[in-house]
Structure 1
């Protein structure tokens, strides 16, 4: 199975991009992991929040494959401990799916069409983080999950 982190817009803060890439590189030692970026919508001043969500949603939907397990990172999703998240990844890996796609939406969240396509939603926290920080935190959690599954000493309870 391959893990894909799909995000709307690119990371512009160099140190966050570097740290995110570092964790993805570490996780790749255990399982294929990639970061895909869907272009953010330009000239949004004339668009409502809903119109921007819908346009971003169209791009996300085009990026999904029919067999993908699509998981939205959403504030209303299920919260998990790091060990529970590791177990979740392990269950998906043995399910026969070829690609597990975690989606980080744009500034206004997800369109109804993307929510309808999603197979699950998870939340990193009840707190709000910038979309760039979510990429970093989530990449670290994927790496942490891999080390938990291997019984390596990175994670401490």
Structure 2
């Protein structure tokens, strides 16, 4: 299986980008993993938040294919402890989709069309994080999940 982390807009922080790249390299030891950054929507001053989310949603949906398992990082999603997320990831790996697509939306969340396409919603926390830092946090959690599944000495409980 391939895991793809899909995010709207590039990060302005070299440090955050370096963290994401470091964890992406680590995850690639366990499975094929990629990070895809979709361009920001242009001329957002003329758009309402709903219109911006719809434009971003169209770009997200173009990146998904039939048979993909699509999980949204959403504040109203299911919260997991790291071990629980590892078990959730293992179920996805065992269920057989070609790709697991994990989506980080833009500043106004997801369009209704993206919510309709999604197979799952995951919340990292009830707190709000910047969309840039979420990439690093979530990439680390994917890596942590694989180390938990392999009983490697990274996660301590």
1:48 CA displacement: 0.4
Matching residue of 1:68: 68
SS in 2 for 1:71: strand
CA–CA separation in structure 2 for the residues paired with 1:11 and 1:34: 16
1:67 CA displacement: 0.8
Matching residue of 1:120: 120
Q: Which blocks of at least 5 consecutive residues in structure 2 are unaligned?
A: none
Encode CA deviations 1:57-76: one digit per residue, 9 max, x unaligned.
01111110111000000000
CA–CA separation in structure 2 for the residues paired with 1:79 and 1:113: 23
CA–CA separation in structure 1 for the residues paired with 2:124 and 2:52: 23
| Matched length | 157
Q: Which blocks of at least 5 consecutive residues in structure 1 are unaligned?
A: none
Encode CA deviations 1:30-56: one digit per residue, 9 max, x unaligned.
111110111110110010001100000
Matching residue of 1:31: 31
SS in 2 for 1:101: strand
CA–CA separation in structure 1 for the residues paired with 2:23 and 2:89: 16
Moved over 2 A (4+): none
Q: Which shows bigger deviation, 87-96 or 69-78? A: 87-96
Task: Kindly report which structure 2 residues correspond to 1:44-55, keeping only aligned pairs within 5 A, or say none.
Answer: 44-55=44-55
Matching residue of 1:78: 78
CA–CA separation in structure 1 for the residues paired with 2:42 and 2:54: 13
CA–CA separation in structure 1 for the residues paired with 2:16 and 2:96: 33
SS in 2 for 1:125: coil
**RMSD, aligned α-carbons:** 0.6
